[in-house]
Amino acid sequence: MKLTQINQHSPFCLQNDEQYKVWRKARLAGYPERFDAHVVRIVDPLALSDAERNALRSLIGKTNMAVYQLAEPAGDPVDKGRIKSLGAQMGLKALDSNLCADEDGISSLRVMPGGRHRTYIPYSSRPISWHTDGYYNALDHLICGMILHCVEPAASGGANALLDPEIAYIYLRDTEPAYIEALMQPDVMTIPANEAEGVAIRGAQSGPVFSLQGQGFLHMRYTARTRSVQWKGDAVTAEARACLSEFLDSDSAYIFRYRLEAGQGLISNNVLHTRSEFEDEAAKGKQRLLYRARYFDRVWGT
């Protein structure tokens, strides 16, 4: 999807407070209080029933995310074709074959202490701070959808905190509309170039935190990292970042906390998320393994 200009009739237009209030009220009405009470059971990921598809779409339409549970989880390794099929049935087809992805475009997230993967935190047991996936991508290749499927959970730890970007937007706009304006600046957040042994893997990428995509969908591009990120130096941007950080560190009921178990997966419109530190059971030959599929698409109909 490509960045879209903000229409004056859009609820995301800062001058259209009336439409924003209408959208805000509808967005918050009936918002789930417990995320774990809405896990969607899937019998066959190769052929979703109408009820399964509608249940997933309804949850994602409200919160931008949903957790599914396969009725019969396969062993390790899971057939990743099942994950691709599930995504395609939800409108997720354009995979981002990123640097560390497998040949099929899906990444196998496990502890990998050697090779190219060793420098990237997702392939370690270390905690991962708040972010949206692909925040370092070029603006014409933003990640809009994602599936995170658990094959084998860690012996302990490895849980996620999850937040709908639209809730973050509401919190910031309600606090101070100027914060939204600051975070929509086209050069507010820059990710420096990625180099390995003097060779440029990716150039520096500048862009907004909040932007509109496609038919006016809100997109968020964010990382809470303090290294390998450069923020615009104006005072309002600094205040906006501090306000967002304070909210992300809070115990807000809108922040869901969930640990995926074997056969479960998160399908989302690239929501904000973290991952806690974890430990494997090396003595028993068990290792945490999740499959991550990133898409340039959003879930269809949400």
Would you say residue 204 lies in a domain?
A: yes
Tokens of 172: 């910031």
User: Of 150-159, 191-200, 233-242, which gets the smallest average pLDDT?
Assistant: 191-200
Would you say residue 300 lies in a domain?
A: no
Residue 111: strand, helix, or coil? coil
Q: Is the pLDDT of residue 197 over 80?
A: no
Residue 1 has a pLDDT of 59
Would you say residue 128 lies in a domain?
A: yes
The CATH number assigned to the domain holding 275 equals 3.60.130.10
List, for residues 34-92, the tens digit of each pLDDT value: 888 889 999 999 999 999 999 999 999 999 999 999 987 655 466 789 999 999 999 99
Q: Is the pLDDT of residue 120 over 70?
A: yes
Would you say residue 302 lies in a domain?
A: no
**At 32, which helix (H) or strand (E)?**
none
DSSP letter, residue 115: S
| Distance separating alpha carbons of residues 210 and 214, to the nearest angstrom | 14
CB 292 within 8 A of CB 96: no
For 215, the domain range is 3-295
Overall number of domains in the chain:
1
pLDDT tier at 27 (50, 70, 90 boundaries)? very high
Residue 36 has a pLDDT of 85
Task: Transcribe 84-105 into DSSP letters.
Answer: HHHHHHTT---B---TT--TTS
Is the entire prediction scored with pTM above 0.85? yes
Would you say residue 103 lies in a domain?
A: yes
